[in-house]
């Protein structure tokens, strides 16, 4: 036994570009997992041993498969089961009590309606539009001084100046950055900006931060005074680290701006002027006349899909009825009657309690459908294995067996499944007590 543990200790120091095993006790071991038996016995090949070695499941807590480095297909819709598992899948049809879906991870599935908790739509990952600042030269700005420079991904603004860049911004997007200052900050950031000449008026938004607080402004092309959409009076003493993390979410369809500071929501601000500015330019400026230095880092611009946030924040409501939430935030209680496959795509037929005629909606109009909880007394059971799928789904299974190509698993609600190994990102063992590694 001591010799066995010594071998594990020696092997855990090796780093291979292969599967990575996390062992009980925080040690790690790399190699190629040849197979995992139904009993959890792991067969591992490693250059450090002339023969494959076998590890009891009780000695392994997690396996990250090397194929998990490959980007999996991200499906924009998904199924939530009554035990909390999530399966990214395309919804095909609902006939009677059976939902038909197609998953890049698990193939075609027929799921009983009493095993369903919710259907989610519009969940694809937010596309990154700008990540970091690679060089000052990629930004235009005649006012850049010698004091402006890049240190890694941090833009150091050593004095007054302005840089700008044109982007193709969608209708909804999110901007992230953080500002660090030494003395008194005087920072200006514009977005949805056509980037016209300084003396030309234009429709655009601006975020301003200085020693008196924070403003969200709306500038207009008619030359009138800017409209203050949001005003936060904040003392610099509220930021003892002289650091402010900013997240701006922009919904140009709803004419709404959402502001988060240091991870906390500060409010939603309606653009009362009218239609939102349509341009895509952004600019970064240090407006200090005293030469105060500012540092901007962790700059990122992404698409924003409100459906992601809506599902996390929408309450389930009455569990004795179905509920349909549209992407505009409308809520209908009633019953999901059918999902029909038509030439224009899947059509969801929903019988609302508040209107005589059924609603017929396309998937693009729906955020979430919560299904009636037919087993409210059921509690989630802990199963011995948890699979993290490449498509961002999770399956907790009663048993699993791996060979070099596939995993055969038994799911408590879906039964026996065969999942290609390359579609599995990681495998976790549930904590066990009283079993010797």
How far is it between the farthest Cα atoms of the chain? 82
* Whole-number pLDDT of residue 55: 87
Are the beta carbons of 130 and 300 closer than 8 angstroms? Answer: yes
E strand or H helix that includes residue 180:
strand 172-181
Beta-bridge partner residues of 355: none
Q: Please give the C-alpha separations between residue 79 and each of 213, 316, 342, 385, in angstroms, as whole numbers.
A: 44, 15, 21, 20
* Whole-number pLDDT of residue 433: 39
DSSP 8-state secondary structure symbol assigned to residue 273: S
Per-residue pLDDT reduced to its tens digit, 216-240? 999 999 989 999 999 999 899 999 8
Q: Please give the C-alpha separations between residue 54 and each of 33, 34, 191, 431, in angstroms, as whole numbers.
A: 10, 10, 57, 20
Low-confidence spans in the chain with pLDDT less than 70: 1-17, 67-74, 124-125, 141-146, 307-315, 375-380, 431-437
Beta-bridge partner residues of 258: 249, 268
* Whole-number pLDDT of residue 338: 93
How far, in Å, CA of 363 to CA of 378, rounded?
30
How far, in Å, CA of 342 to CA of 72, rounded?
28
* Whole-number pLDDT of residue 69: 40
E strand or H helix that includes residue 118:
strand 116-121
CATH number of 128-304: 2.60.120.560
Sheet strands (E) in 15-157: 19-23, 28-36, 42-45, 53-55, 60-64, 77-81, 86-88, 90-95, 98-103, 107-112, 116-121, 128-131, 148-151, 154-157
* Whole-number pLDDT of residue 7: 40
Tell the burial category of 263 from Cβ atoms under 10 Å away from its Cβ (0-12, 13-18, 19+): exposed
CB atoms near residue 215 (< 10 Å): 18
* Whole-number pLDDT of residue 314: 62
* Whole-number pLDDT of residue 212: 92
3-state secondary structure of 312: helix
* Whole-number pLDDT of residue 29: 84
DSSP 8-state secondary structure symbol assigned to residue 267: E
**In the chain, where are the structural domains located?**
2-70+379-429, 128-304
Tokens encoding 248: 């701006």
* Whole-number pLDDT of residue 11: 40
Are the beta carbons of 284 and 295 closer than 8 angstroms? Answer: no
How far, in Å, CA of 107 to CA of 345, rounded?
20
Are the beta carbons of 105 and 419 closer than 8 angstroms? Answer: yes
How far, in Å, CA of 215 to CA of 209, rounded?
7
Name which of 12, 13, 128, 18 is nearest 68 in CA terms.
18
Looking up tokens 């979430």, which residue turns up?
Answer: 368
Specify the long-range contacts of residues 403-409, CB closer than 8 Å, at least 24 apart: 403/34, 403/35, 404/34, 404/35, 407/36, 409/385
Distance of CA 35 to the CA centre of its chain: 32
Q: Please give the C-alpha separations between residue 245 and each of 52, 166, 240, 299, in angstroms, as whole numbers.
A: 49, 23, 13, 10
Per-residue pLDDT reduced to its tens digit, 169-192? 999 999 999 999 988 899 999 999
84: Cβ–Cβ under 8 A, 6 or more apart, which residues?
117, 380, 394, 396
Sheet strands (E) in 371-411: 385-389, 394-397, 399-402, 406-411
Go through the chain and tell me how many residues it has: 437
- Radius of gyration over every alpha carbon of the chain, rounded to an integer in angstroms: 27
Sheet strands (E) in 252-365: 256-261, 264-270, 281-286, 294-303, 322-326, 331-342, 345-352, 359-362
């Amino acid at each position: 036994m001591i010799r066995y543990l010594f071998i594990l200790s020696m092997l855990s120091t090796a780093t291979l570009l292969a599967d990575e095993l996390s062992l009980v006790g925080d040690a790690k071991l790399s190699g190629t997992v040849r197979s995992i038996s139904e009993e959890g016995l792991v067969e591992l090949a490693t250059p450090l041993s002339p023969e494959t070695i076998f590890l009891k499941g009780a000695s392994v807590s997690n396996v990250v498969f090397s194929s998990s480095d490959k980007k999996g297909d991200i499906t924009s819709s998904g199924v939530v089961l009554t035990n909390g598992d999530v399966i990214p899948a395309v919804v095909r049809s609902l006939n009677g009590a059976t939902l038909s879906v197609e998953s890049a991870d698990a193939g075609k599935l027929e799921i009983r309606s009493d095993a369903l908790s919710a259907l989610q739509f519009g969940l694809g990952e937010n596309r990154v539009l700008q990540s970091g600042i690679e060089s000052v030269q990629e930004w235009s700005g005649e006012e850049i001084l010698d004091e402006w420079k890049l240190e890694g991904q941090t833009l150091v603004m050593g004095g007054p100046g302005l840089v700008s860049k044109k982007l193709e911004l969608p209708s909804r997007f999110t901007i992230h950055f953080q500002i660090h200052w030494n003395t008194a900050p005087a920072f200006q950031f514009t977005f949805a900006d056509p980037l016209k000449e300084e003396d030309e008026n234009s429709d655009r938004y601006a975020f301003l931060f200085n020693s008196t607080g924070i403003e969200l402004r709306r500038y207009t092309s008619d030359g009138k005074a800017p409209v203050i959409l949001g005003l936060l009076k904040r003392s610099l003493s509220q930021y003892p680290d002289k650091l402010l993390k900013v997240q701006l979410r922009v919904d140009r369809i709803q004419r709404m701006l959402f502001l988060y500071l240091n991870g906390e929501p500060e409010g939603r601000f309606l653009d009362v002027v009218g239609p939102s500015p349509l341009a895509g330019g952004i600019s970064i400026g240090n407006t200090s006349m005293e030469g105060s230095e500012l540092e901007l880092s962790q700059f990122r611009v992404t698409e924003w899909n409100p459906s992601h946030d809506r599902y996390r924040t929408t309450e389930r409501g009455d569990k004795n009825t179905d509920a349909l939430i549209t992407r505009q935030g409308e809520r209908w209680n009633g019953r999901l009657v059918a999902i029909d496959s038509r030439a224009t795509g899947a059509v969801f037929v929903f019988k609302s309690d508040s209107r005589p005629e059924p609603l017929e909606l396309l998937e693009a109009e729906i955020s979430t459908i919560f299904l009636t909880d037919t087993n409210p007394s059921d509690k989630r059971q802990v199963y011995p294995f948890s699979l993290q799928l490449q498509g961002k789904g999770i399956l907790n299974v009663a048993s699993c067996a791996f060979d070099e190509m596939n995993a055969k698993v038994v799911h408590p609600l879906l039964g026996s499944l065969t999942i290609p190994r390359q579609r599995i990102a990681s495998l976790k063992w549930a904590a066990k007590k009283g079993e010797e590694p």
